[in-house]
Amino acid sequence: MTKIGFIGLGTMGEPMAANLLRKGFEVTVYNRTPSKADALVQLGAVIAPSVAEVARSANFIITMISNDQAIREIYYGDEGLLEALSAGAIIADSSTISPDLARQLAIDAADKSAYFLDAPVTGSKPAAESGTLVFMVGGDSDVLKQVEAPLLAMGRKIIHMGPNGSGATAKLAHNTIVGINTAALIEGLSIASSGGIDAAAFLELVNSGGAASKMAELKAPKLLERDFSVQFSLELMLKDLRLSSHLSDQLGTPAPLLGAAKSLFQAADAKGFGPLDLSALAHCYEEWIGKRLAPGKQTDDK
């Protein structure tokens, strides 16, 4: 029976671990702030006092952390994951990291006779809660087969993208499209709005026509209500665009739209909108066109 370790109980990690527990998996969890595990303990989780303890207690370990630097601390720190890992263990990292780091982690896991999968996800908080994430996985396909059951407890689909690093690469290329589509939606709405078109009518059109997209579907209500609470934060999107820009530089792939979108999110981040939802990019365009893109909720002015 798979004994699962779960490291990183943030916006995404906590509901992912909860789904594992609900499906009957035995899960040991670790988070820097232990109180975040309280709800999981109700569902049967065991709390480990350290990363190393998770590594020693589990044969499949999932990490879900914010960025390359945090991942390095978890994996390479004193009492870190790699040091404490048992031979034969499998680690899957579901964070969005650079392909270079993913390949390095795979090499270093192999040195411990263990296995690494880069396994980032698409889908934000609601998909994590409902267990409908999509996993894109880089690594050995036989290793992947051994952990399909727990992954499908958290998601609705697994796509094997190729060898180690391929999951991370696919995630960055995918999120490049997400970022550009979101900015395109806001840029189109800005043209319509400065041309006197009502935002609700225009967004209905977008969602009915060739301009429809997952981002338009998710962000139209937020733009109309000016509700910039986080589904996916602008600063995390910017982080991904920077990693993707660095990757396309390494690969020698011209990416002019990525470059233009990165500048836009960078400008928005510089103005302090980083912690809000990425749709808060709308603030930059609003400043440019000199008016609000949508009236927002009535309560706005109270």
The C-alpha atoms of residue 99 and residue 254 are separated, in whole angstroms, by 18
User: Which has the closest alpha carbon to 179: 217, 236, 247?
Assistant: 236
3-class SS letters over 29-54:
EECCCHHHHHHHHHCCCEECCCHHHH
Q: Rounded to the nearest whole angstrom, what is the least distance from the CB of residue 283 to a copy of itself in the complex?
A: 12
CB-nearer residue toward a copy of itself: 41 or 212: 212
DSSP, collapsed to helix, strand or coil, labels residue 224 as: helix
DSSP, collapsed to helix, strand or coil, labels residue 265 as: helix
CB-nearer residue toward a copy of itself: 226 or 262: 262
The C-alpha atoms of residue 40 and residue 129 are separated, in whole angstroms, by 13
CB-nearer residue toward a copy of itself: 14 or 187: 187
Q: Rounded to the nearest whole angstrom, what is the least distance from the CB of residue 174 to a copy of itself in the complex?
A: 5
CB-nearer residue toward a copy of itself: 84 or 216: 216
DSSP classification of residue 281: G
CB-nearer residue toward a copy of itself: 8 or 155: 155
Tokens of 111: 């040195």
Segments of 60-173 assigned E as strands: 60-63, 90-93, 115-118, 121-122, 133-138, 155-162
CB-nearer residue toward a copy of itself: 101 or 178: 178
User: Which has the closest alpha carbon to 283: 203, 238, 226?
Assistant: 226
Q: What is the DSSP string of 82-98?
A: HHHPPTT-EEEE-S---
Q: Rounded to the nearest whole angstrom, what is the least distance from the CB of residue 52 to a copy of itself in the complex?
A: 30
The C-alpha atoms of residue 278 and residue 264 are separated, in whole angstroms, by 11
Q: Rounded to the nearest whole angstrom, what is the least distance from the CB of residue 45 to a copy of itself in the complex?
A: 28
Contact status, residue 273 vs residue 264, Cβ threshold 8 Å: no
- The catalytic residues are 171
Q: Rounded to the nearest whole angstrom, what is the least distance from the CB of residue 21 to a copy of itself in the complex?
A: 25
Q: Rounded to the nearest whole angstrom, what is the least distance from the CB of residue 221 to a copy of itself in the complex?
A: 16
